[in-house]
């Protein structure tokens, strides 16, 4: 909306020219979404507490401390994050940029799937949802596939089905018909990876912000012909506008963290974690940095791998590799304080983000 006002009225109101730059609109997007969550978050929390009664069901097979400290905390806090993202993006992004709309499609689609999952858990008063895992993955794949096809339609033939490698400036591997499959796997996989990590107060939201900040910078660089040429990365015209959307995500996440900081007043639930993970996944696909996402989001990948290893080991040998999965529960069982686990995982996320950014120069 503001982008439209700039183009229409900047000759009459010179101050609007400041918002013709993506960087200015990113900053404004961060502030807008953050303020929206600060303002409306308390009302939403109050309403969710009334509606949900006993709050989010806690896993009975999880750490016993959670049954005491987290019981009664409302979930679906992802709604306030989604509100901040959508409103701020619509306010500050360029509506003519289709990349923005396709990413929003995946964000809202994954958010809706997560919301339904949360709803069923609350309705049945059980942490084990009645939502079929296969059906959930199918719906996620359909949403992701729609987003991927839209993104591919915006890119030139050949490049649209290619995978870029971060350490090689000229290497592109054309995956052909397999690329949509790979892209959907990336989006769905990362959405569920963030979902698995969201098990402690503040654990998932800060690494999400770190990854979003990293990809906001990457989107801006990839979408800018000068910067992408200087850093020798494959340019993807139009993707710079995604930095505005990711700015909205960061601002909304900061606002959410205010209420999610220990002891949490609200959990984001699948509504938030699926949406945030799906957003990062589809942005990575759009800017051809899927492999870098695996580096920057390595914490989420590690949490997912711990679950896969645990399940595979138990089915094959009857023995568990970890005391409990995902990985953060393993350290809880070892006696680490929740705050220790969360802060150390944040540190790992920062290190991985710096490694991911280093790939810009290691070419």
pLDDT in tens, 73-115: 888 899 999 999 999 999 999 999 999 999 999 999 999 999 9
Q: Is 164 in contact with 171 (CB distance < 8 Å)?
A: yes
The predicted-structure confidence for 233-244, as pLDDT tens digits, reads as follows 999 999 999 999
pLDDT at residue 316 in the model = 87
| Mean pLDDT in residue range 119-137 | 76
- 67 pLDDT band, cuts 50/70/90, is very low
pTM value?
Answer: 0.91
- 14 pLDDT band, cuts 50/70/90, is low
**Average pLDDT across the chain, whole number:** 88
Q: Is 106 in contact with 187 (CB distance < 8 Å)?
A: yes
The predicted-structure confidence for 277-288, as pLDDT tens digits, reads as follows 999 999 999 999
Residue 359, phi then psi, degrees to nearest 5: -65, -15
Overall residue count recorded for the chain in this entry:
363
The percent of the chain in helix, strand and coil, each rounded to the nearest 5, is 70, 0, 30
pLDDT at residue 162 in the model = 94
Whether residue 52 has pLDDT greater than 70 = no
How far is 40 from 33, CA to CA, in rounded Å? 11
Whether residue 264 has pLDDT greater than 90 = no
pLDDT at residue 16 in the model = 58
Element (H, E) at 173: strand 172-174
How far is 52 from 76, CA to CA, in rounded Å? 10
Whether residue 344 has pLDDT greater than 60 = yes
Residues ≥6 apart with Cβ < 8 Å to 319: 313
How far is 187 from 181, CA to CA, in rounded Å? 10
DSSP structural state of residue 268: -
* Domain ranges for the chain: 23-358
The predicted-structure confidence for 139-169, as pLDDT tens digits, reads as follows 999 999 999 999 999 999 989 999 999 888 7
Whether residue 17 has pLDDT greater than 80 = no
pLDDT at residue 21 in the model = 80
pLDDT at residue 171 in the model = 83
């Amino acid at each position: 909306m503001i982008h439209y006002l700039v183009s229409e009225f900047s000759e009459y109101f010179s101050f609007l020219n400041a918002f013709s730059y993506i960087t200015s609109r990113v900053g404004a997007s961060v502030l807008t979404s953050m303020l929206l969550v600060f303002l409306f978050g308390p009302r939403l929390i109050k309403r969710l507490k009334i509606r949900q009664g006993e709050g989010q069901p806690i896993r009975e097979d999880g750490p016993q401390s959670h049954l005491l400290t987290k019981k009664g905390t409302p979930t679906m806090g992802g709604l306030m994050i989604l509100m901040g993202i959508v409103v701020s993006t619509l306010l500050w992004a360029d509506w003519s940029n289709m990349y923005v709309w396709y990413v929003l499609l995946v964000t809202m689609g994954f958010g809706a799937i997560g919301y339904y999952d949360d709803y069923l858990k609350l309705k049945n008063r059980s942490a084990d949802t009645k939502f079929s895992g296969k059906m959930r993955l199918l719906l996620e794949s359909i949403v992701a596939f729609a987003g991927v096809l839209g993104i591919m339609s915006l890119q030139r033939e050949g490049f649209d089905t290619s995978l870029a490698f971060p350490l090689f400036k000229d290497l592109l591997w054309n995956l052909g018909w397999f690329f949509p499959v790979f892209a959907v796997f990336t989006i769905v996989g990362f959405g569920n990876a963030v979902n698995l990590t969201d098990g402690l107060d503040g654990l998932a939201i800060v690494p999400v912000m770190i990854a979003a900040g990293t990809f906001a910078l990457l989107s801006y660089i990839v979408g800018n012909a000068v910067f992408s040429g200087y850093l020798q990365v494959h340019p993807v015209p139009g993707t710079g506008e995604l930095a505005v959307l990711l700015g909205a995500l960061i601002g909304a996440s900061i606002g959410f963290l205010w209420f999610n900081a220990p002891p949490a007043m609200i959990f984001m639930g699948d509504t938030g974690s699926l949406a945030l993970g799906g957003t990062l996944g589809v942005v990575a696909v759009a800017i051809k940095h899927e492999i870098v996402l695996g580096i920057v989001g390595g914490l989420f990948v590690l949490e997912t791998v711990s679950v896969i290893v645990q399940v595979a080991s138990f089915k094959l040998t009857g023995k568990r590799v970890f005391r409990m999965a995902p990985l953060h529960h393993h350290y809880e069982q070892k006696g680490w304080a929740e705050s220790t686990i969360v802060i150390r995982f944040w540190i790992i996320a920062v290190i991985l983000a710096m490694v991911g950014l280093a790939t810009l120069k290691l070419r």
